[in-house]
Amino acid sequence: MLSDHELYRDGIVLILRQHGFRRAEGFANSGALLKSARVAPVDLALVDLAHEPENSEELGCLLRAAWPDLTLVAIGTQLQLAARAQDVDGCVELPTDGAARLQAMAEAVARSHKGPIKGPIKFATSPEVAQQGLTWASLTPRQRQVLGLLGCGVENSKIADSLCISERAIKAHVSCLLEKFRVNNRTELALIACRAGVAPA
């Protein structure tokens, strides 16, 4: 379990131990998690998308490279999951899912050790996260960059300078983002970026 919130991390580790995981550990940073993953197989990794100092997408790739059969579960708000959890096997949606969904996932992974299941176990996401995920998946890499900079409050002219494109192109990207997210102004886009945890690239 990777989270920089100690009480939350320790609570999830306790739930996992109660469901038969002999080795359930919490980590405050990805370096410690990756070091532990090199020592022994990892069956289930839970990543808190609100974990500020880490790039959860990059961490997922590193863990999958070491353990291809790993079940990777993202924990976050509906917006965080839609924006940043495309390559995971399951999601725990805060605050709605709570411990019940996490317990069900833990039980399924624990059962997989007793049967013929090989590879990661896939869990369905909520229809809301799936729908929002389609919007996020439709963004181009450049639109994600613009959205991340909007989330930091950067003006169009400065966004254009930092991305080495024209201000007119930035206005076009902002217009597309307004349409895709069905919002009326750049302030609403900035809020979406901040709440989703989209950082400028």
Q: What is the mean pLDDT of residues 151-177?
A: 95
Q: Which helix (DSSP H) or strand (DSSP E) does residue 38 occupy? A: helix 30-39
Tokens of 70: 């790993």
Domain range annotation of the chain = 6-124, 139-196
**What CATH number matches the domain at 6-124, 3.40.1130.10, 3.40.50.2300, 1.10.10.10, 1.10.3720.10?**
3.40.50.2300
Cβ atoms of residues 36 and 25 within 8 Å: yes
Would you state the pLDDT for residue 52? 61
Query: Tokens 């405050």 map to which residue?
Result: 28
Q: Nearest CA to 7 among 23, 21, 28, 24?
A: 28
- Residue 12: is its pLDDT beyond 90? no
Bridge partner residues of 41 (DSSP): none
- The more confident residue out of 146 and 84 is 146
Q: Which two tokens stand for residue 185?
A: 């102004």
Phi, psi angles (nearest 5°) of residue 92: -115, 115
Rounded Cα gap, residues 38 and 50, in angstroms: 24
Return the top range by mean pLDDT from 8-22, 118-132, 156-170. Answer: 156-170
Residue range 169-184: mean pLDDT, rounded: 96
pLDDT level of residue 76 (50, 70, 90 thresholds): confident
Indicate if 139-196 has the same CATH topology as 6-124: no
What is the pLDDT averaged over residues 129-153? 93
Tokens of 94: 């805060």
- Is the pLDDT at 116 greater than 50, yes or no? no
**pLDDT average, residue stretch 128-134:** 89
**Side-chain-side CA neighbours of residue 123 (13 Å):** 25
> First and final CA of the chain: distance in angstroms?
26
pLDDT band for 118, please (50, 70, 90 cuts): low
pLDDT: which is higher, 64 or 135: 135
CATH dotted code for 139-196:
1.10.10.10
Share of residues in the chain with pLDDT > 70 (%) = 91
- Using a CB cutoff of 8 Å and minimum separation of 24, what contacts does 185-192 make? 186/150, 189/147, 189/150, 189/151, 190/150, 190/151, 190/152, 190/153, 192/79, 192/147, 192/151
Q: What is the DSSP string of 82-116?
A: HHH-TT-SEEEEETTTHHHHHHHHHHHHHHHTTSS
Region for 24 from its dihedrals, namely left if φ exceeds 0, alpha if ψ lies in -120 to 50, beta otherwise: beta
